[in-house]
Amino acid sequence: MDTLAIIIPFVPILSAVLLLLFFRQQKAIAARISVLATLLTFVFSLILLTLYIGNQVPRVEQLGSLWGSIWLDPLSLIMWAFVSGISLLVHMYSVRYMIEEPNYPRFFAYLDGMTATILFMVSAGDLITLLISWFLVGVFLYFLLGHDTDRPAAGRYAFWTQITYRVGDLPLWLAAFLLFKYYGCLSLPVIFERIAAAPTAMQLWGMSVPAWVGILVAIAAFARSAQILLHGWLPYTMDGPTPVSALMHAGIVNAGGFLFNRFAPMFEYTGLALHIAFVVGLITAVVGSALMLIQNDVKRSLGYSTMGQMGFMVMECGLGAMPLAVFHLIAHGFFKASLFLGAGDAIGDARRNDGVPPDPLYVSVVERRPAKPSRLPWWTAATLTILVPVIVLSLSHFVESSRLFFEQGVVILLFFAWVTGAQAVFAAHKMTHTNPWQLMGGILGSFVLVVLGYTLISYYFVDFLYSPSASARLFQSASIGVLSYDVLVIILTLLFVGGWALTFFADAKDWGRNLSQRWQGMYLAMYAFLSRELYLNDFYVRLSQVLLSWSRRLNVWFRWS
């Protein structure tokens, strides 16, 4: 088992070296070697995960005397299986997709290098291994995004991504420096043990060192996971090859959620960073979802969808629900990888079916569809929208563990799940169908199955990744004052319920048209604001122009050239 753990991250490295040294001109053999190496990595990862489930003894394997270690714990082993599985799908898809591209073997070598680097990153047992692998992920991503050197846009946006990553790396390097200085050790398990023994013993400028480190780690995670103000690079990476987009959105962007979980033992004793993560994640989720809705390009829409999902993931971390973020990370990774790999088919279908409504006479006579489909009564849809999601969610969590209703993070997650489920039911009400009761029944049945499956799997993750005491400490660290919490929940509940009531009532009384005309100017202004991506990219461009202008003036004043 120990030998297998050491072999796994080196298998893709061996493949990359072989491709670059001996098979640079042999496309077919290079692709087969790369796919076979990734398949072996995935199979070995599954075997190691199965052996750990039977043994369940975390340990650290040393590769070097000072640094270079692999931490074999539940988080590392789950991430190994997930990363190698996603990488295998991307490798297999790339065999035919990239066949016409130049430097075909080099592309697979880069994919292997990226896979190995991520494997080392998610299993790093010391600070130096973590920092080096964290840095190299950005380097490999730069070369993969700029693989097509004939596309200037690809190189430009790859460089933009590289700059954002390097800026986001600075807080992580500073956090590592603080941990080494105050705890005198490079090993992550040892550092976490010393923090747990005396969480507030080390102070810096009136605040504990874990609190400072938590904020710095959170900022590094924000940059890597495209949170608000640091998200501009993500939707513009679509000029890279589609397999790279799938790998990036399925595995690399999720690194923020992994970083929160890796440093979870430290977040148990500092709540400020978690509160910041909740606010940033919530804003990112709302903004990313809004920007996704106005896109007319399928890949850019998927990019902003990833931004919104990463916001939800960071918000879950901010609530203390770290295992739920891991499950979200894995589910979103496979889902988004399939969407990107199928984006070409979606574009082809859109070209064949332009979406122009057919002639009503043709629909009625030839396709024999009813001319006037019906909808549910508004009061029935309103009742289902408000009551059914909250009943299903509450019962599913109560069956698992009734004590979770006393944890603020779970209640907040239930609230947002209720909002999401109610939106799905409301969307079903807006749809027209020959049998609206059948439509609503199908949607509610699907909703119940998804919620039950999601609840069961997420709680299994809690038991596997963290002990009950550690999970309780995380929720306690993320909690706020009881009065503030109660007031916040009441206000949000009234806002959502009032908004839905107004929407249904306006729809029932046919006030929607008058409302739309009255607020048409506001709608147009909001659309313009979102279409310009909140003017953040314009601000960054202007800021770069100002910096370049001042650099030229300094160059003249000091006569540097």
Q: How far apart are CA 357 and CA 255, in angstroms?
A: 43
Q: Band the pLDDT of 490: cuts 50, 70, 90.
A: confident
Q: Given this model, what pLDDT does residue 455 score?
A: 66
DSSP 448-496: HHHHHHHHHHHHHHHHHHS-HHHHHHHHHHH---HHHHHHHHHHHHHHH
Q: How far apart are CA 261 and CA 387, in angstroms?
A: 34
SS3 439: helix
Q: Which residue would you say has higher pLDDT here, 107 or 494?
A: 107
The residue-averaged pLDDT of 512-539 equals: 71
Tokens of 25: 């001109």
Farthest-apart Cα atoms in the chain, separation: 81
**244-301: pLDDT as tens digits:** 888 887 778 888 899 999 999 899 888 889 989 988 998 898 888 888 878 777 778 8
Q: Which residue would you say has higher pLDDT here, 509 or 305?
A: 305
Q: Given this model, what pLDDT does residue 62 score?
A: 85
Q: Given this model, what pLDDT does residue 371 score?
A: 47
Bridge-based pairing state of the strands 59-62 and 203-204:
unpaired
Q: How far apart are CA 330 and CA 254, in angstroms?
A: 9
The ranges assigned to domains in the chain are 1-125, 147-356, 374-515, 519-561
| Pick from 70-84, 98-112, 148-162: least confident | 148-162
Residue 504 has pLDDT above 70, yes or no: no
Tokens of 482: 């009881």
Residue pair 33/59 in contact by the 8 Å Cβ criterion = no
Tokens of 439: 């439509």
Q: How far apart are CA 335 and CA 305, in angstroms?
A: 11
Q: Which residue would you say has higher pLDDT here, 468 or 401?
A: 468
Tell me the percentage of the chain whose pLDDT exceeds 70: 73
Nearest to 46 by CA among 79, 93, 14: 79
- Count Cβ atoms within 10 A of the Cβ of residue 461 and give its class: 0-12 exposed, 13-18 middle, 19 or more buried: buried
Residue pair 136/12 in contact by the 8 Å Cβ criterion = no
Nearest to 213 by CA among 277, 276, 263: 263
- Count Cβ atoms within 10 A of the Cβ of residue 337 and give its class: 0-12 exposed, 13-18 middle, 19 or more buried: buried
Q: Which residue in the block uniquely carries the two structure tokens 């439509």? A: 439
Q: State the distance between the two ends of the chain, measured CA to CA, in whole angstroms.
A: 60
The sign of the torsion formed by the CA atoms of 327, 328, 334, 337 equals negative
Q: How far apart are CA 458 and CA 490, in angstroms?
A: 27
Residue 11 has pLDDT above 90, yes or no: yes
SS (H, E, C) 345-394: HHHHHHHHCCCCCCCHHHHHHCCCCCCCCECCCHHHHHHHHHHHHHHHHH
Q: Band the pLDDT of 145: cuts 50, 70, 90.
A: confident
- Count Cβ atoms within 10 A of the Cβ of residue 159 and give its class: 0-12 exposed, 13-18 middle, 19 or more buried: middle
| Cα Rg of the chain, angstroms | 26
Nearest to 471 by CA among 400, 404, 397: 404
CB atoms within 10 A of CB 492: 14
Tell me the percentage of the chain whose pLDDT exceeds 90: 22
The sign of the torsion formed by the CA atoms of 430, 432, 435, 441 equals negative
The CA dihedral of 380, 381, 386, 390, to the nearest 10 degrees, is 100
The residue-averaged pLDDT of 455-482 equals: 76
* Residues facing residue 61 across a β-bridge: 70
Nearest to 100 by CA among 275, 277, 242: 242
Bridge-based pairing state of the strands 69-72 and 59-62:
antiparallel
Q: Band the pLDDT of 525: cuts 50, 70, 90.
A: confident
Q: Given this model, what pLDDT does residue 123 score?
A: 92
Q: Given this model, what pLDDT does residue 351 score?
A: 62
Query: Which span out of 10-14, 348-352, 382-386, 524-528 was modeled with the highest average pLDDT?
Result: 10-14
Q: How far apart are CA 479 and CA 302, in angstroms?
A: 33
The residue-averaged pLDDT of 167-186 equals: 92
Phi, psi of 18 (to 5 degrees): -60, -40
Q: How far apart are CA 122 and CA 145, in angstroms?
A: 22
Tokens of 276: 């910041």
Residue 321 has pLDDT above 90, yes or no: no
| Pick from 59-63, 86-90, 432-436, 493-497: least confident | 432-436
The residue-averaged pLDDT of 158-187 equals: 90
Q: How far apart are CA 190 and CA 42, in angstroms?
A: 29
Q: What is the DSSP letter of 103?
A: S
Q: How far apart are CA 264 and CA 471, in angstroms?
A: 9
Q: Given this model, what pLDDT does residue 475 score?
A: 81
Residue 71 has pLDDT above 80, yes or no: yes
The residue-averaged pLDDT of 20-29 equals: 86
Residue 400 has pLDDT above 80, yes or no: no
Residue 494 has pLDDT above 80, yes or no: no
Nearest to 405 by CA among 484, 415, 487: 415
